[in-house]
Structure 1
Amino acid sequence: MTPAELEVAELCAELIRVDSSNYGDGSGPGERAAAEVVMARLSEVGVEAHYSESAPGRGNVVTRIEGSDPSLPALLVHGHLDVVPANAADWSVDPFAGEIRDGYIWGRGAVDMKDMDAMMLAVLRQMVSEGRRPRRDIVFAWVADEEAGGVYGAKYLTANHRELFDGVTESISEVGGYSLEVDPDLRLYLIETAQKGLSWMRLVADGTAGHGSMLNSSNAVTEVAKAVARLGSHEWPLTLTPTVRQFLTEVSDAFGLPFDPENPTPVLDKLGPLVRFVGATLSHTTNPTMLSAGYKANVIPGQAEAVVDGRFLPGYEDDFFKTVDELLGPNVRREFVQHDIALETTFDGALVESMIAALKAEDPTARAVPYCMSGGTDNKTFFADLGVRGFGFVPLRLPKDMDFAGMFHGVDERVPVEALQFGVRVLDRLLLNY
């Protein structure tokens, strides 16, 4: 085994043992301790890095490895150091113990995304220790706050340290590059090329406050409740974006199924648990998540609020909000709690070809396919602020029966050691040869 293969599991476990839970309200431990682990491991092989805090404890680490051809644009490889919280009582292991057993690394962040953080670190350490140079500059970034929108991480860096990303035109990061086994002779590797947009909306209705025993034709609670019901029960039409259509076509071909764009259910059924990643990318979604009104049983409040999690397809944002506003009606207004763009890029170019070549070199059964994810990553920030074309590519060859989608933010999150070892081999090939 290579040095990167030998150490990647322990690097991942070491990072998991650092509780970097992000509660979204500033109350968590922050990422400084995890960033210090990264800095220490880089320092061991003589790599200097830029460390910056956007707020006390919110640590970010960025370093650049110079390539042999300065005429080539730079590549950004980025991962986030924060994780969502974990309730230890729900787990069969301590979520922050970084336990390695049964061929898996267990703990919060094992797949989201301290696995990639460790792979980046292992490959970089091996590259530098062996004196190998990539063809182009590679910028490695371990950032804060992705789980809460990136204000203290990617957005802080692009606003305050743009110089760290000079020359970068493309990037790779999380939620892509993992395998779906069709049969022993064919594995599909899903590379993320698109992401739905995000719109967390606060719905507000104003009414006439009064006594609960009296007639009231201007009840704010009633107005918000009707709007929430209309949004939550609305059946958004099937809309296939270019990425989703290509994905469904490729999967249909792999499983020997005819592709019917009017009825993709037979194809989706072949995805198993991974349908959770892509099932919601065939339409917009609006899911009510919060309600708030009143302070006493016999008092009609003058205002009522709700929160809806909206996700819109790339290229269809105007269509989404036109329908949302129609469903809200005239008596309810919407405000943004959080809003972020949708992304979609084409599945072509030298970087895509290099990813495919690196996968096939390590797994001859590999067939790469593009897909759209229903969530979002820091690739949105680097595109919006710097124009960087981003892909989801964390190469993992997974067991056929593994519920990979269920690992994200789930209980007993874990990643196979062999998948990480496969990943560093692929990543090493990609970064050196692209």
Structure 2
Amino acid sequence: MKKLAITLLLGASVAAGAAAMPLRPDQVEFRGLYKELVETNTTVSTGSCTLAAERMAARLKAAGIADSQITLFSVPEHPKDGGLVVVYPGTSKKLKPMLLLAHIDVVEAKRSDWVRDPFTLIEEDGYFYARGTADDKSQAAIWTDTLVRFAREKYKPKRTVKMALTCGEETSGAFNGAEWLSQNRRELIDAEYALNEGGGGLSDGHGKLMVQTIQVGEKAYQDFTFTTTNKGGHSSQPVRENAIYAMADAVAKVRDFEFPLEFNDTTRAFFAKSGALRNDEMGKAMVALAANPQDKAAEAIVNTDKMYHSMLRTTCVATLIDGGHALNALPQTVTANVNCRMFPGRTSDETQATLEAAIGNPAVKVVQTKVGKPIAKTPPMYPWLIGPMEALVAKHFPGVPVIPVMSTGATDGVYLAAVGIPTYGVPGEWGDPDGNGAHGLNERLEVRSLMEGRDYLFELVKLLSSK
């Protein structure tokens, strides 16, 4: 994911905690685990998720988890894209397991572009710097560390706790471990629900934690390829029927088309609660729109924020274009990629039909880049699950509001939801308003965010697995 910062301009902020303190002995040990995972290159080009999974498995075995509880997996076609599943057994035969999910692959990073080596964990000015420090090796390290601590404590949960560390989340079209497990080893990850990335907190960028969020649902990702063709000819004798012009008209239609506004339980709660925390025109409009989706004046105000606009509907945007074959010839073929983020419940087929209708030109061929992608499903906001998350936020981060949110991006949770495992992005760690360089340059995560988030998530997993 793409841990997208949730820019909530709240009317007040709350201190994130005390000033930085020396690390406890258990935190020092955890830092070593985190460092090993971060410094294991897991890019799709030159890295190995398989190696990272093996290193985490070694730590779990050293803590006392039996070989029979650990599954390292990969496929012959993608030997470096492997992953890890761990089953930590519970005492209850009636309770279904819970699943801890995190991806261990990272976005590409060139040393020449970065201030620091992207695959060396560097602590500086209260932050950890390196590729994957935030997205998503922090959570993968916390989940692994949680099971290490359980094993050392000889903790016996009532509910079985499973963990899946997978590859392929960051690269569309690559081998995806979460997808493979859901389709080929469903029994291995079977769970009543899964905890994943996507939630978390937002600071003001100056040491104050403003909000914690629980991701309850996300959009589905789909790319569409547009193609226009023409017989071409000599550029000295141009005609109106030009493949570039036809494509330009098509992508302009996409630009001007607005998918209709939609709400679900998550987004309605988000706009109502986060709007009520603000004392400005935007906050009032958010509350009004949640109460009445037909309020066009409120919608016009809310739409001025690009994130809010995207949370309210399916969105499609042209991202790549390629065409022509010579400087002095009329183009014969032009292609464009249109990236869509589909509102939960919307299918690729209906989105394609909507795009074709908006273009209004049958000569523009529209095809789905990947056929059969699952439909995004919004999980229920179970009080027995959401309640403990909120209660522990009040304990660990007093006075910080908790808000449900639907991601405008996408995570591997969509593959679990497709096979009946509702997936939630948890609170805990927090980021800064600038996104902390995730997917970009000089990715970083505040040391306090990692350590305090670890404390929160350890207690959350223990609480949820104990009842």
Q: Is 1:159 the equivalent of 2:183?
A: yes
What residue number does 2:316 align with? 286
Moved more, 422-431 or 75-84: 422-431
Distance 2:158 2:110 in 1: 44
* Distance change >3 Å, CA 74–CA 267, structure 1 → 2: same
Q: Is 1:28 the equivalent of 2:62?
A: no
Q: Is 1:250 the equivalent of 2:273?
A: yes
Matches within 5 A, 1:265-276: none
* Contact 2:244–2:334 (8 Å) recurs in 1: yes
TM-score (norm 2): 0.82
* Contact 1:283–1:313 (8 Å) recurs in 2: yes
Distance 1:106 1:291 in 2: 34
Displacement after TM superposition at 1:307 (Å): 0.8
Distance 2:379 2:306 in 1: 21
Distance 1:267 1:183 in 2: 26
What residue number does 2:11 align with? none
* Contact 1:32–1:59 (8 Å) recurs in 2: yes
* Distance change >3 Å, CA 133–CA 102, structure 1 → 2: farther
Q: Is 1:96 the equivalent of 2:119?
A: yes
Which of 218, 221, 242 is residue 198 of structure 1 equivalent to?
221
- For 2:334, the aligned partner's letter is A
* Contact 1:61–1:142 (8 Å) recurs in 2: yes
Distance 2:455 2:249 in 1: 54
Q: Is 1:51 the equivalent of 2:72?
A: yes
What residue number does 1:272 align with? none
* Distance change >3 Å, CA 268–CA 43, structure 1 → 2: farther
Which of 281, 289, 297 is residue 327 of structure 2 equivalent to?
297
What residue number does 1:325 align with? 356
What residue number does 1:421 align with? 451
Matches within 5 A, 1:122-133: 122-133=145-156
Q: Is 1:395 the equivalent of 2:428?
A: yes
Distance 1:387 1:173 in 2: 15
* Distance change >3 Å, CA 109–CA 370, structure 1 → 2: same
Distance 2:84 2:25 in 1: 23
Tell me, what secondary structure is at the counterpart of 2:450? helix
Distance 1:331 1:266 in 2: 37
Tell me, what secondary structure is at the counterpart of 1:419? helix
Q: Is 1:222 the equivalent of 2:240?
A: no
- For 1:370, the aligned partner's letter is P
Moved more, 69-78 or 227-236: 227-236
Displacement after TM superposition at 1:185 (Å): 10
Distance 2:205 2:443 in 1: 24
Structure 2 gaps, min length 5: 1-22, 290-294
* Contact 1:64–1:138 (8 Å) recurs in 2: yes
Displacement after TM superposition at 1:112 (Å): 0.5
- For 1:154, the aligned partner's letter is A
* Contact 1:5–1:424 (8 Å) recurs in 2: no
Percentage identity across paired residues of the two chains: 26
Q: Is 1:367 the equivalent of 2:398?
A: no
Q: Is 1:341 the equivalent of 2:362?
A: no
Displacement after TM superposition at 1:188 (Å): 2.5
Structure 1 gaps, min length 5: 270-274
* Contact 1:248–1:264 (8 Å) recurs in 2: no
What residue number does 1:5 align with? 27
Distance 1:320 1:355 in 2: 35
Moved more, 423-432 or 211-220: 211-220
Write the deviation string for residues 36-93 of structure 1: whole angstroms up to 9, x where unpaired. 2211211210223110112211121110111122211111101111000112233221
Tell me, what secondary structure is at the counterpart of 2:327? coil
* Contact 1:106–1:414 (8 Å) recurs in 2: yes
* Distance change >3 Å, CA 278–CA 296, structure 1 → 2: same
- For 2:329, the aligned partner's letter is V
Write the deviation string for residues 196-253 of structure 1: whole angstroms up to 9, x where unpaired. 1222010012222322223435422221221012113434454444322210110122
Tell me, what secondary structure is at the counterpart of 1:57? strand
Distance 1:309 1:204 in 2: 14
Tell me, what secondary structure is at the counterpart of 1:304? strand
Distance 2:238 2:124 in 1: 65
Displacement after TM superposition at 1:160 (Å): 2.6
Moved more, 411-420 or 174-183: 174-183
Displacement after TM superposition at 1:177 (Å): 2.5
Distance 2:408 2:380 in 1: 17
Displacement after TM superposition at 1:2 (Å): 6.5
Tell me, what secondary structure is at the counterpart of 1:148? coil
* Contact 1:9–1:417 (8 Å) recurs in 2: no
Moved more, 216-225 or 243-252: 216-225
Distance 1:417 1:279 in 2: 32
* Distance change >3 Å, CA 404–CA 321, structure 1 → 2: same
User: What is the total number of aligned residue pairs between the two structures?
Assistant: 420
Tell me, what secondary structure is at the counterpart of 1:9? helix
Distance 1:233 1:363 in 2: 43
Tell me, what secondary structure is at the counterpart of 1:58? strand
* Contact 2:345–2:375 (8 Å) recurs in 1: no
Distance 1:99 1:184 in 2: 20
Distance 2:192 2:256 in 1: 41
* Distance change >3 Å, CA 405–CA 65, structure 1 → 2: same
What residue number does 1:382 align with? 416
